[in-house]
Amino acid sequence: MIGSKGRITGLAVAAILFGFSAAAQAGDERLYASLGDTTRSPIGWVEFCAENPGDCNGGASQARDIVITQTAWKDLLRVNRWVNETVKPMTDMDHWGVIERWSLPTDGYGDCEDYVLLKRKMLIDAGWPREALLITVVRDKKGEGHAVLTVKTDKGEFVLDNQNESVVAWTDTGYRFVKRQSQSDPNVWVSLGDSRPAVATASARSR
């Protein structure tokens, strides 16, 4: 199991040390020029939720952004780095014999969305609000489908990415943003402007 190789022990304490704001301040930089209409969930999400209903509990809720403190920022870096170093990249075809399957990488292998699912789960289990942790589908610098975790904060939107050890602002990724989870319901997805279809979210590219 992934968890047996190490745990992010400070997260639960850190979650108590910072508050949550209901919305970003008026002067904060927006993640996108505007959010579009609701759209289809990515291939693999519905099947993942059927197998892991506890990770997909939805329903309408209040959008919340994380108030970033030094401790919270260090925890984001730690989670991103630990998952990236612990999970070994493997395509879904090599792993499962199918083009696309979303799963928690409990056997130590996965591709981009599996990294995202584990990072999201670890942070939620530590007390972070799911409304601020949004699975996001992008097109990378080569135009290929890719999944990252967007963290909405009072200081802007930051991206946790298996292709980058650092946590960076969305504007520094060089990606084109396609769709992401709604803050108010994790099972509702909203379009972000790139209308080209993304058949699969990503390959398991080595870091």
- Rg (C-alpha) for the chain, rounded Å, is 16
Using pLDDT thresholds of 50, 70 and 90, give the confidence band for residue 51.
very high
Q: What was the pLDDT predicted at 197? A: 54
pTM for the model stands at 0.80
Are 145 and 200 within 8 A, CB to CB? yes
Q: How far is CA 25 from the centre of its chain?
A: 22
Q: Please determine, for residue 9, whether its predicted confidence score (pLDDT) is greater than 80.
A: no
| CATH class of residue range 22-191 | alpha beta
Instruction: Tell me the pLDDT tens digit for each residue of 112-141.
Output: 999 999 999 999 999 999 999 999 999 999
Average pLDDT across the chain, whole number: 81
**Which stretches of 12-132 are assigned E, i.e. beta strand?**
20-21, 38-39, 65-66, 88-89, 109-110
Q: What was the pLDDT predicted at 193? A: 74
Instruction: Provide the b/e sequence for 60-84 (b: ≥16 CB within 10 Å).
Output: eeeebbbebeebbbebbebbbebbb
Domain ranges of the chain: 22-191
